[in-house]
Structure 1
Amino acid sequence: MIRVGVIGASFARDAYLPALAHIPGAEAVALASNRIDSARKAAEPHGIPFVTDDWAEMIATQNLDLVCIATPTDTHLPMTLAALDAGAHVLCEKPTAMNADEARQMLDRAKAKGRLHMIDHEMRFNPNRSRVAEMIAHGDLGQIRHANIANISATWGDPASRPKGDWWSDASRGGGRLGANGSHQVDMLRWWLGEPTSVVGQALTFVPDRIDKKTGEAWTATADDLSYFTLEMASGALAQVFMSGVAANTIGNDTQVFGSKGTITLSNSDERLYFAKAGQGFEEITVADPKADLPGLNKGIWNVSVLSALQELTAAIAGKRELERGATFVDGLRNQMVLDAVIASTSSRRWEDLDMNAAV
């Protein structure tokens, strides 16, 4: 039996714990959260015996095979190192860390301890996005020339939309759209198109002056609520990503990939995948996820795809093999290098070159 401990109650409740219930041979035996009430509420429906508000105690005492980390970004490094030192394999949420230096420490420790390591970029296990990867690899689109991704929402636009103390709005804790959504986009583009060689962009705070809806207290947000960047890929392709949480209306996430032989479009709003050969009309080629209707799984591609990610990770642990799919800490480090370069570009207002070989 693979003994699993989870740190962080929110995503555990929504995704990790429902997914683990569908994996024979793996069992959630411990859960830690800063708020003990939240931990108990998440653990109770799954009969988890050990619940605590002290993650270090959980790691030190519970003899865990796998630790899943779903907490604010500034906690990823110490939690990951502690779990690895205790002999556990690690699944860590995105963004990987506060910066590339921390991400490298996580990777180096995992290698030194001989433990499996995965970043929860669960979209690598989504059937539609997997089909895009396959079509690009098989040459169905020809030479990829450019890709556009837009993620537009109104969720952060109202100054009262975020409570005071919200870590997602705090740059010192690793919050912001760039890490929350941009890390997923970077991972997907690297998966589809290969490594980037240079990036230019900005991470900006459009609505810094905020007010707590419950208390009326004014506070200042420091994390980016709008970010954009352009990646120049080693293949010669250009990839543009624009993410805003401060629009007046939510449009959602739209992805377009343009090649010399065809074009692909995919929208998160309806999860329909379309392909058009050069000079022809678009035809739907959507791939349904057979796991979407499993009992107990919450709706949404993120929650469903986590099951496939955990199935691969736990199978690798049980089989004492390397991961065959998914983003590892190597991917996490390279991803973080891109995010760091976007931050640098915000200040320099110019292209920042990337050396992905430095992550090996």
Structure 2
Amino acid sequence: MLNVGIIGASFARNAYLPAFEHIEGATVVALASGRIDSAKAAAAPYGIAHVYDDWQKMLEGHALDLVCIATPTVMHAPMTCAALAGGAHVLCEKPTAMNAGEARHMLDAARAAKRLHMIDHELRFNPTRARMAEMIRGGDLGEIRHVNISNIGASWADPASRPRGDWWSDASMGGGRLGANGSHQVDMLRWWLGEPAAVIGQALTIVPDRVDAKTGEAWTATADDLSYFTLEMQSGALAQVFMSGVAAANMGNETQVFGAKGTLTLSNSDEKLYFARAGDSFADISVDDPNAGLEGLNKGIWNVSVLAALQELVAAIKEDRELQRGASFVDGLRNQMVLDAVIASTASRRWEALDMSGAA
């Protein structure tokens, strides 16, 4: 039996804990959160007796085989390295770290400890997106020429929509749309198209002046609420990503992949995948996720896809093998290099070259 510890109550409640109910041979023995009431509320429905408001005490108090980390980004590197030093394998949420230097340190620590390492880019385990990867690599679309991805919402549009102290709005904590959503988009594009060669873009704070809805206190957001970038892939394809949380209306996530022989479109509003060969009409080729109907899993591709990711990681640990699927800390480092380059491009207002050869 693998002993699992979780740091961070919110995503544990939404995704990790329901998923572990469906994984044989692994049990969550301890959970830590910055607030003890949050830890208790998440742990109680699953009978987890050991709860903490100090993650270090949790790591010190248990012999853990796997630690899952879902905390503000600023804590990813120190928590990961401490868990590895204690002998645990690690699943870490995205974005990987505050910068590529921290991501490299996490990768080096995992290799030195000879522990498995995964970044929770769970959409690699979504059957619809996996089919897209297979079709791209199998040549169904021909040469990929360009990709358009837009993620537009209204959740940050109202100056009173975020509470004072919200870490997602604090650049010093690693918040912002670029890390929250852009990391997933970069990982998806790398998975589908291979490595990028250069990037240009911006990470911007459109609504910095905010007010706490409960107290009326004014405060300033420092993290980006709108980001966009264009990746020039080594293959020659162009991939454009636009992400905004400050629109007046939600328009969701739309993905379009354009090849010489065909086109794919995917909308998260209905999770329908459509394919059209050159000259033909679009046809629905959607793929159902067999885990979506399992009892206890929360709805949505993010919560459902976590189960398959954890199943692969737990199986690899038990079988003493490398990961066969998913994003490792190598992918996390390469994704972080792209995010860092978008930040650099925001300042330079020019293309930033990407050299992934040393990130292995």
Bucket of the pairwise TM-score, normalised by the shorter protein:
over 0.9
Runs of 4+ residues over 2 Å off in structure 1: none
**Structure 1 Cα separation of the partners of residues 159 and 5 of structure 2:** 36
1:156 paired to 2:126:
no
Correspondence 1:114 to 2:114? yes
Counterpart of 1:123 in structure 2: which amino acid?
A: L
In structure 2, the residue matched to 1:182 is 182
Q: Once the two structures are superposed, what CA deviation does each residue of 1:192-242 show, in whole Å capped at 9, x if it has no partner?
A: 000001000000000000000000000000000000000000000000000
Match of 2:285 in 1: 285
**Corresponding residue for residue 100 of structure 1:** 100
Counterpart AA for 1:315: A
Aligned equivalent of 2:207: 207
CA distance in 2, matches of 1:340, 1:73: 14
RMSD: 0.3
Q: Deviations over 1:161-219 (max 9, x none)?
A: 00000000000000000000000000000000000010000000000000000000000
Match of 1:5 in 2: 5
> Residue 145 of structure 1: CA displacement?
0.3
Aligned to 2:314: 314
Deviation of residue 60 (structure 1)? 1.2
Distance 1:69 1:308 in 2: 17
Letter in 1 for 2:106: M
CA displacement 1:247-267 (0-9 Å, x = unmatched) = 010000000000000000000
Give, in whole Å, the separation in 2 of the partners of 1:332 and 1:42. 27
Aligned to 1:60: 60
Q: Quote the offset at 1:61 in angstroms.
A: 1.4
- 5 Å-filtered alignment, 1:265-276, equals 265-276=265-276
Please give the alpha-carbon distance, in whole angstroms, between the structure 1 residues aligned to 2:191 and 2:198: 16
Residue aligning to 2:303:
303
Partner Cα separation in structure 2 for residue 188 and residue 200 of structure 1: 18
Distance in 1, matches of 2:338 and 2:194, equals 13
Alignment of 1:67-82 (within 5 A): 67-82=67-82
Q: Give 1:125's aligned residue.
A: 125
Cα distance in 1 for residues equivalent to 2:183 and 2:212:
28
* Structure 1: distance between partners of 2:49 and 2:197: 48
The whole-number CA distance in structure 1 between the counterparts of 2:263 and 2:2 is 43
1:109-159 deviation per Cα after TM superposition (whole angstroms, max 9, x unaligned): 000110000000000000000000000010000000000000000000000
Counterpart Cα distance in 2 of 1:60 and 1:81: 13
AA of the residue aligned to 1:45: P
Q: Secondary structure at the match of 1:345?
A: helix
Partner of 1:89: 89
Could you tell me which residue of structure 1 aligns to residue 38 of structure 2? Answer: 38
CA distance in 2, matches of 1:172, 1:330: 24
CA offset at residue 357 of structure 1? 0.8
Counterpart secondary structure, 1:356? coil
* SS of match in other structure, 2:230: strand
Give the distance between the partners of 2:233 and 2:290, measured in 1 at CA: 33
Report how many aligned residue pairs link the two structures.
360
- What is the one-letter code of the residue matched to 2:309? A
CA distance in 2, matches of 1:49, 1:308: 26
C-alpha distance in 2 between matches for 1:63 and 1:268: 40
Aligned AA (2:98): M
Tell me the residue number matched to 1:232: 232
Q: Secondary structure at the match of 1:111?
A: helix
One-letter amino acid matched to 2:233: M
For residue 51 of structure 2, what is the aligned residue in structure 1? 51
CA positional deviation for 1:358: 1.5
In structure 1, distance between residues paired with 2:163 and 2:49: 32
Tell me the distance in 2 between the aligned counterparts of 1:220 and 1:358.
38
Deviation of 1:12 (Å): 0.1
Structure 2: which 5+ residue stretches go unaligned? none
Structure 1: which amino acid aligns with 2:43?
Answer: A
Q: Which residue in 1 is equivalent to 2:357?
A: 357
Q: Which amino acid aligns with 2:346?
A: T
Name the amino acid aligned to 1:254.
Answer: E
Shift of 1:341: 0.1
Code of the aligned partner of 2:229:
F
Which residue in the other structure is 1:21 paired with? Answer: 21
Q: CA deviation at 1:49?
A: 1.8
Q: CA–CA distance in 2 between the matches of 1:55 and 1:107?
A: 21
Which amino acid in structure 2 is aligned with residue 331 of structure 1? Answer: D
Amino acid at match of 1:300: G
For residues 321 and 205 of structure 2, the distance between their equivalents in structure 1, rounded to whole angstroms, comes to: 43
